[in-house]
Amino acid sequence: MARGQGVAAGLPPDAVVVEEAITVGLLLRRLVRLERPGSYTHTVGGGLGWGIGAAVGRALAEPGRPVVAVLGDGCTLFGLQGLWSAARQNAPVLFVVMNNGVYRTLQDTYEAMGAQGPCPGTDLGPLDFTQAARFFGVDAVRAASADHLRELVTGADALTRPLLVDVPLRG
């Protein structure tokens, strides 16, 4: 089971998905089937970093609905300070950070333009988002497998405070 499939398979009924995972989001949108209008929020471009704040806002606006934010690691870096608000508001959001260690969409665009060699400034290196979450007062865990991720997503409806899941996608 792939990581995107783990998220889709684990979504609780009536979940709200806030997706700011540019490359993983393409797959996720094909897998997720949500019945209730307004249950899937994403953008088609523009600024990065809105996903964490949007997820906190959805959780505060619709108490009782589980909110799962699926975020790319680069997008997460642009809005990381939103975890502070999540912790202070006890927003019961499951933040799922798809951690591939690169700005993949920029690298893909660079290659599509015919550029040769590495794309400068797009390798994020190894990042541990569990440490970043804890810095802001958010509990965190690293997903050990796609099945583990599915179990964590399934539990989103039982959250009483935020939880960040760091999902390593390479290495």
Blockwise average pLDDT, block size 10, the chain, 171 residues = 74 92 74 79 80 97 95 93 98 96 81 88 89 98 95 96 93 49
Cα(142)–Cα(144) distance, integer angstroms? 6
pLDDT for residue 126: 83
Model pLDDT, residue 3: 56
Residue 76 domain flag = yes
What CATH number is attached to the domain comprising 8? 3.40.50.970
- Domain of residue 130 covers 3-30+40-168
- Measured in degrees and rounded to the nearest 5, phi and psi for residue 165 equal -115, 120
Domain presence at residue 123: yes
Q: Tally the C-alpha atoms within 13 A of residue 169's C-alpha that lie toward its C-beta.
A: 21
pLDDT of 1: 47
Q: How many other CB atoms are found less than 10 A from the CB of residue 116?
A: 6
In a domain, 152, yes or no: yes
Q: How many domains does the chain have?
A: 1
Inside any domain, residue 35: no
Sign of CA dihedral 6, 74, 129, 71: negative
pTM: 0.90
Whether residue 88 is contained in a domain is answered as yes
Question: What does the pLDDT read at residue 13?
Answer: 86
**170: CB partners within 8 A, 6+ apart:** 100, 101
